[in-house]
């Protein structure tokens, strides 16, 4: 479809210059990175795998790498924490305690619950 559209528009191989709209995936091919490129003004079924060298200087690659890094940080930071005890004793305990305090303050400010006295035993 991409080739027939270009031909209909009178674009020849010598004229072809495509604009990267976004990178939507990546994979390793023979030890090198390849990226699935979404081209500006083209449909998703026109996406193509391109080697790193073809997208190295694009803003789309920079954005893709930033998002991948953010996703890895979130995954590493929360993957193994299961309990409160683990959160407040892990290396990032200060951040967890700040997050917990912030959440509790927000709940209090929004009157999410009413604190009542502990009922007597028995």
Q: What is the pTM of this model?
A: 0.49
How far is CA 70 from its chain centroid?
6
For the beta carbon of residue 104, count every other beta carbon within 10 angstroms. Answer: 11
**Between 3.40.190.10, 2.40.50.40, 2.40.40.20, 3.40.1280.10, what CATH number should domain 2-65 receive?**
2.40.50.40
**Number of residues in the chain:** 122
Burial (CB count within 10 angstroms: exposed 0-12, middle 13-18, buried 19+), residue 37? buried
Selection from 58, 55, 18 nearest residue 40 by Cα = 18
Q: Can you give the pLDDT at residue 109?
A: 85
Domain map (residue ranges) of the chain = 2-65
* pLDDT tens profile 5-21: 555 555 555 556 789 99
Q: Which residue has the tokens 């990175």?
A: 33
pLDDT at 15: 54
Query: Which tops the pLDDT comparison, 60 or 112?
Result: 60
Q: Residues 30-76: pLDDT tens digits?
A: 999 999 999 999 999 999 999 999 999 999 999 988 888 776 665 55
DSSP letter assigned to residue 117: P
Q: What is the pLDDT of residue 46?
A: 94
């Amino acid at each position: 479809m991409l080739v027939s559209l270009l031909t209909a528009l009178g674009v020849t191989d010598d004229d072809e210059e495509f604009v990267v709209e976004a990178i939507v995936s990546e994979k390793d091919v023979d030890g090198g990175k390849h990226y699935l490129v979404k081209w500006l003004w083209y449909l998703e079924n026109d996406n193509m795998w391109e080697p790193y060298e073809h997208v190295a200087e694009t803003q789309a690659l920079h954005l893709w790498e930033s998002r991948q890094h953010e996703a890895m940080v979130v995954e590493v930071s929360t993957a193994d924490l299961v309990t409160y005890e683990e959160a407040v004793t892990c290396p990032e305990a200060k951040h967890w305690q700040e997050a917990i305090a912030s959440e509790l303050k927000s709940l209090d400010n929004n009157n999410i619950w009413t604190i009542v006295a502990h009922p007597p035993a028995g």
